[in-house]
C-alpha cells in the first residue's frame, strides 16, 4: 500500500499512516512516500514534490519527484520504476532475450505503457517491428506526457502502440513474433494482470504466437532471499511446464528495496556465452548499456544456493484458481502540502 504523508520533522512526527502535521516554530515540513512491502515492513523515502496524480478506469497513477531516486512512477500504490535505476530493470528485462535470439526482428510487449521497454528494444538494430499492447490508455498518455526520457521511443516509426488487453490482442492477432516480453504489473489480488502469469495463458496464448526459435521473457516479481517464494518461484515452475528451456535470473533494484526477478523461456536452448553476448551487444545495440553485459547476465542467472534449492523444490503451478499474489493492494493518497 502506498501513501504520501507530510511531517514537521520534530518529535516522532514521521507522517506514518497518512497523517499530515503542520509546521511548528519554524521547522520545515517534509513530505514522504511510503509503501508497505510486507505486513511488518515498510519502505519510505523523502519527496521533493508530487508532480502529478490521476486515475484511470483501471488504476491510480502518480508521478513523484523523490529525493533519492528522481522521478518515480507509482501505479496502484506500488512503485513501478524510478528515474535513477530503471535502467537496471529494463536492460535486464529486454536484452538477454533479444541477444539470445539469432535475429530478433519482431517483438510484442505485454504492458509496458511507460515506454522504457520499447526504448530498450528499439536500440537493437535488428528490430523491425515492435508492438506495445497496454490495456490502460490513460497510463500510456500519462507516460508520453511526463516521462521525457521515452519520448523518442514513442515517436519511432517501428513502434506500434495498441490499447487492448494483451491476452485478447494475442488471441485475435494472426502475427507471430520472435520475442514476446511480459512487462506487466505485479500479480496483485484484485489487479488486472494476474491471469497473464498462468499456465493456460503461457501454453495456449503465448507459445503459439512465437516464431520458430522464439523466446518469451517476463518480469516475475521479488526474487530476494525471503521474498522469492511469493510469486517468482511458482512463475518459474509454471513456465517449466510449458517450455523446454527456462532461465530464471535476478538483479538488485535499489528503489524497489529488493532483488527483482525475471524468467526467460524457449524451446530452443540458451547457449550464448558471456563473450558471445558482449560481441552481439557491440554489433546489434546502439549506444552503451549502463548495466548489462555478458558477465553481468552470467552473474544474474547464477542464483544463490537458497533460491536455487527453493526453485528446484517448487511444485506450485500458477493457474487462475491457484494464483499467488505479492503482498498488498495499495492506493496513493495525496495529502495536503500547504
Please indicate, yes or no, if residue 319 is contained in any of the structural domains: no
CATH of the domain at 77: 2.30.140.10
**Residues spanned by the domain of 148:** 85-313
Mean pLDDT confidence for 182-196: 86
Together in a domain, 45 and 144: no
Predicted structure pTM score: 0.89
Together in a domain, 65 and 110: no
Together in a domain, 187 and 282: yes
In percent, how much of the chain has pLDDT > 70? 88
Please indicate, yes or no, if residue 327 is contained in any of the structural domains: no
Q: What pLDDT shows up at residue 222? A: 95
Catalytic machinery residues = 183
Is the confidence at residue 7, as pLDDT, over 70?
Answer: no
**Per-residue pLDDT tens over the stretch 232-288:** 999 999 999 999 999 999 999 999 999 999 999 999 999 999 999 999 999 999 999
Mean pLDDT confidence for 170-186: 96
Mean pLDDT confidence for 131-146: 93
Q: In what order do the strands lie in the sheet with 60-66?
A: 2-7, 30-38, 41-55, 60-66, 70-75, 78-82
Together in a domain, 63 and 93: no
Contacting residues for 50 by C-beta, under 8 A, at least 6 apart:
4, 31, 62, 63, 64, 65, 334, 337
Together in a domain, 103 and 145: yes
**Per-residue pLDDT tens over the stretch 73-98:** 998 888 999 999 999 999 999 999 99
Give the span between the Cα atoms of 316 and 323, in whole angstroms.
9
Together in a domain, 265 and 155: yes
Give the span between the Cα atoms of 58 and 296, in whole angstroms.
36
Q: How many of the other CB atoms lie within 10 Å of CB of 103?
A: 11
- How, if at all, do strands 106-111 and 129-134 pair? parallel
Place of cell 511507460: 114
* Domains contained in the chain, number: 2
Amino acid at each position: 500500500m502506498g501513501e504520501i504523508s507530510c511531517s514537521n520533522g520534530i518529535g516522532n512526527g514521521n507522517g506514518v499512516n497518512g497523517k499530515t502535521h503542520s509546521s511548528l516554530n519554524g521547522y520545515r515540513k517534509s513530505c514522504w512516500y511510503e509503501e508497505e512491502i510486507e505486513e511488518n515492513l515498510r519502505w519510505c523515502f523523502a519527496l521533493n514534490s508530487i508532480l502529478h496524480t490521476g486515475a484511470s478506469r483501471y488504476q491510480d497513477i502518480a508521478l513523484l519527484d523523490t529525493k533519492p531516486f528522481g522521478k518515480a512512477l507509482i501505479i496502484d500504490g506500488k512503485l513501478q520504476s524510478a528515474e535513477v535505476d530503471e535502467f537496471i530493470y529494463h536492460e535486464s528485462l529486454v536484452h538477454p532475450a533479444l541477444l539470445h535470439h539469432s535475429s530478433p526482428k519482431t517483438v510484442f510487449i505485454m504492458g509496458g505503457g511507460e515506454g522504457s521497454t520499447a526504448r530498450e528494444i528499439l536500440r537493437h538494430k535488428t528490430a523491425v517491428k515492435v508492438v506495445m499492447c497496454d490495456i490502460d490508455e490513460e497510463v500510456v498518455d500519462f507516460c508520453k506526457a511526463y516521462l521525457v526520457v521515452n519520448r523518442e521511443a514513442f515517436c519511432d516509426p517501428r513502434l506500434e502502440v495498441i490499447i487492448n488487453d494483451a491476452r485478447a490482442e494475442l488471441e485475435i492477432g494472426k502475427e507471430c513474433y520472435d520475442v514476446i516480453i511480459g512487462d506487466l504489473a505485479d500479480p496483485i489480488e484484485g489487479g488486472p494482470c494476474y491471469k497473464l502469469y498462468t499456465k493456460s495463458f503461457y501454453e495456449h496464448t503465448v507459445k503459439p504466437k512465437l516464431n520458430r526459435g522464439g523466446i518469451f521473457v517476463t518480469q516475475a516479481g521479488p526474487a530476494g532471499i525471503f521474498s522469492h517464494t511469493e510469486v517468482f518461484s511458482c512463475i518459474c515452475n509454471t513456465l517449466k511446464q510449458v517450455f523446454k528451456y527456462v532461465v530464471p535470473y535476478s538483479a538488485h533494484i535499489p528503489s524497489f528495496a529488493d532483488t527483482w526477478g525475471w524468467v526467460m523461456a524457449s524451446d530452443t536452448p540458451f547457449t550464448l556465452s558471456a563473450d558471445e553476448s558482449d560481441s552481439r551487444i557491440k554489433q546489434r545495440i546502439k549506444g552503451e548499456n549502463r548495466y548489462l553485459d555478458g558477465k553481468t547476465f552470467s552473474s544474474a542467472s547464477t542464483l544463490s544456493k537458497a533460491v536455487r534449492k527453493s526453485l528446484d523444490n517448487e511444485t506450485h503451478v500458477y493457474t487462475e484458481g491457484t494464483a499467488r499474489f505479492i503482498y498488498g493492494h495499495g492506493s496513493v493518497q495525496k495529502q495536503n502540502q500547504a
